[in-house]
Homo-oligomer: A and B are copies of this chain.
Amino acid sequence: MQPVNLAAKLAQFTTHWDPHVIADYNDNEVMVVKFQGEFPFHLHEDTDDFFFVLEGEMVMDLEDQSHEVKQGELFIVPKGVTHRPRAADECKVLLIEPKGVPNTGDPATAAAKPRI
């Protein structure tokens, strides 16, 4: 039980679309990630997807709308909703997903989610 400094965790890696687990909350993994460029469109049938922008700005594309999500803003994608995060410039994000959820919606293409 220690405070977890998100900036210090984010300083430990430079890769994009590569979520790193920093804590557990019940059956969820709490992660930090850096977005830059476009992620594939995907969905999670069984879970909402939690995004909180720590630094920078991202766009959340849905099938029929797009939302800018700025520093200090939260965006929760409900389960079953197809979505694609993208960011023109690097954007740092706090993510929460249940343990075992593939970040791409597909275990074959999912990130490893190392713990730091």
Interface of A toward B, CB cutoff 8 Å: 1-7, 22-26, 30, 47-48, 50, 52, 54, 60, 62, 65, 67-70, 72-79, 81, 94, 96, 98
Which of B25, B67, B77 lies in contact with A76, CB distance below 8 A? Answer: B25
Q: Please tell me if the beta carbons of B2 and A67 are within 8 angstroms of each other in the complex.
A: yes
* SS class, residues of chain A in contact with chain B: strand
Distance, CA A48 to CA B47, complexed state (A): 19
A70 to chain B, nearest CB (A): 7
Q: Please tell me if the beta carbons of A1 and B81 are within 8 angstroms of each other in the complex.
A: yes
Closest residue of B by beta carbon distance from A54: B72
Given contacts A25-B96, A48-B26, A52-B94, contact A78 B1 (CB under 8 A): yes
A77 to chain B, nearest CB (A): 7
Distance, CA A40 to CA B50, complexed state (A): 30
Q: Which residues of B contact A78 (CB under 8 A)?
A: 1
Distance, CA A15 to CA B25, complexed state (A): 27
A72 to chain B, nearest CB (A): 5
A21 to chain B, nearest CB (A): 12
